[in-house]
């Protein structure tokens, strides 16, 4: 009997879609070669439109609700653990490394799931101003966020490029290249986890094809990249981004409080005290 081979598609607005351009690039795994959607500029624009709506829907949920949806993502991955382990093995990892990576990814997601309704108690505070005013600084999600996927074959590193922004209420467009099979596989568990459409979009391709548009699209409020992309790419992104004072940050490899700080804006509200 012939095996049925999976077609990997982009995940945009809760749907599995091919590139409108019809173009693909290939990723060779151990036994199989996969054709992956080569995201075009128009695909990116579609993802941003989706992500804009996704931000509205994701950000308006209560923290408790968002927290549970993230936790459900960890449950979904746990349930399909074996398929992830074998996928990572197909990427050349040993069985033990694959298993460890998936376990770490689940732990990372559980950590952030439990952080959704707490981080603001660490980032916000009353400000002791010298006068009769109530003055509070609290934080809001920046909005539509573009994040690069890591080049490493790791589910844990992948979720670390998505979850910090998602945790604080941003919608995320995650863009993968070499690790696209892992990222597009993740879309299946995302799809089963009650995320509102557009809160996570997973697209794949070659960054240099869309980088100018990531920088220039005013609806992308934040772009998070890795240190190891080329200097030229950083320049293009920074130059185009400067036209709308776009926030650009480097994705850290660690989790923790500092991982979410690039994705929030501080809002300070004053009110007089009196009778």
Partner 1 sequence: MNSWQYSESIESEKIVNIEKKYGNFIDGKFVTPKSKQYIDTISPSTEKILSSISIGNQQDVDYAVVSAKEGLKKWSKTAPSERAKYLFKLARLIQERSREFAVLESLDGGKPIKESRDFDLPQVAQNFFYYAGWADKLDIAWGNEKYKPYGVVGQIIPWNFPLLMLSWKVAPALATGNTVVLKPAETTPLTALLFAELCEEVGLPDGVFNLVTGDGSTGSHLVNHKDIKKIAFTGSTGVGKYIQKSLAGRDVGLTLELGGKAANIVYSDAALDEAVEGVVNGIFFNQGHVCCAGSRLLVQEDIEEKFIKKLEKRMQTLNVGNPLDKNTDVGAINSKDQLDKIEKLVNEGIADGGDLYQIECELPKNGFWFKPSLFTSVQANYKIATEEIFGPVLTTLTFRTPEEAVEIANNTEYGLSAGIWTEKGSKILWTADRLEAGVIWANTFNKFDPASPFGGYKESGFGREGGRHGLLSYLKVSS
* Binding interface with partner 1 (CB under 8 A): 122, 125, 127-131, 133, 135, 137, 231-232, 234-239, 241-245, 247, 252, 254, 256-258, 261, 265-272
Read off the DSSP letter of residue 60: T
CB of 170 to partner 1, least distance (A): 14
Q: Which is nearer to partner 1, 62 or 125 (CB)?
A: 125
Q: How far is the CB of 157 from partner 1 (least distance, A)?
A: 15
Separation CA 224–CA 221 (nearest Å) = 10
Q: How far is the CB of 121 from partner 1 (least distance, A)?
A: 12
Residue 96 or 245: which CB sits closer to partner 1?
245
User: CA dist 272 to 124, 137, 139, 214, 268, Å?
Assistant: 19, 15, 21, 42, 13
For 116, what's the count of Cα atoms within 13 Å in the CB-facing half-sphere? 23
Nearer to partner 1, 65 or 253 (CB): 253
State the nearest-atom distance from the C-beta of 215 to partner 1, in Å: 9
Distances (CA, A) of 32 to 4, 7, 24, 90, 162: 12, 12, 15, 9, 27
Determine the 3-state secondary structure of 79 from DSSP: helix
CB of 269 to partner 1, least distance (A): 5
For residue 206, give the nearest of 26, 62, 57 by alpha carbon: 26
**Between residues 72 and 246, which has the closer beta carbon with respect to partner 1?**
246
Q: Which is nearer to partner 1, 85 or 264 (CB)?
A: 264
């Amino acid at each position: 009997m012939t095996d049925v081979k999976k077609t990997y598609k982009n995940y945009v607005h809760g749907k599995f879609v091919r590139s409108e351009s019809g173009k693909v690039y290939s990723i060779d795994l151990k036994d199989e070669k996969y054709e992956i959607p080569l995201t075009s500029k128009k695909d990116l624009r579609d993802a941003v439109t989706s992500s804009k709506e996704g931000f509205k829907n994701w950000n308006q949920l209560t923290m408790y609700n968002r927290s549970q949806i993230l936790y459900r993502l960890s449950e979904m991955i746990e349930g399909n653990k074996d398929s992830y382990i074998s996928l990572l093995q197909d990427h050349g990892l040993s069985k033990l490394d694959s298993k460890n990576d998936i376990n770490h990814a689940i732990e990372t997601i559980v950590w952030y799931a439990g952080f959704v309704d707490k981080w603001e108690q660490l980032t916000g505070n009353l400000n002791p101003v010298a006068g009769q005013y109530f003055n509070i600084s609290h934080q809001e999600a920046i909005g539509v966020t573009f994040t690069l996927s890591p080049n490493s074959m790791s589910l844990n590193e992948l979720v670390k490029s998505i979850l910090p922004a998602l945790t604080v209420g941003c919608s995320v467009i995650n863009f993968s290249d070499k690790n696209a099979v892992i990222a597009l596989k993740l879309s299946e568990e995302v799809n089963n986890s009650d995320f509102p459409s557009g809160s996570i979009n997973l697209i794949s391709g070659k960054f240099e094809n869309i980088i100018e548009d990531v920088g220039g699209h005013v609806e992308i409020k934040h772009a998070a990249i890795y240190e190891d992309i080329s200097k030229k790419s950083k320049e293009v992104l920074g130059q185009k981004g400067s036209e709308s004072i776009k926030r650009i940050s480097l994705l850290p490899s660690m989790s923790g409080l500092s991982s979410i700080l690039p994705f929030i804006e501080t809002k300070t509200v004053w009110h007089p005290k009196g009778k």
